Amino acid sequence: MTQRRKVPSATILDAQGNELMAVRKIEQDGNTLVIRGKIFGAMPMVARLTPAEARAALKLLDLRTILFLLTLPFRK
């Protein structure tokens, strides 16, 4: 009997708790960050984050949010 390993994924939810995206893989491709997954559980998607866009996203964060992000993996 062969057993399939479940692929780890992170789910992004909307305000009502419905699945928006299931992230299956995050990898580097040159200077970009590539995020692979499925939107709404059906449509495959590949998103790319460039260094310029990453810097722009970091400007949206304040100190309180940065501290929250650092502690988020350790919360229940």
The pLDDT value recorded for residue 2 is 64
Q: How far does CA 33 lie from the centroid of its chain?
A: 11
Cα separation, 37 vs 39, in Å, equals 7
Cα separation, 76 vs 74, in Å, equals 7
3-state class (DSSP) for residue 34: strand
Angle, alpha carbons 52-59-47 (nearest 5°): 45
CB 47 within 8 A of CB 32: no
Q: What are 23-72's pLDDT values in tens digits?
A: 999 999 999 999 999 998 889 999 999 999 999 999 999 999 999 999 99
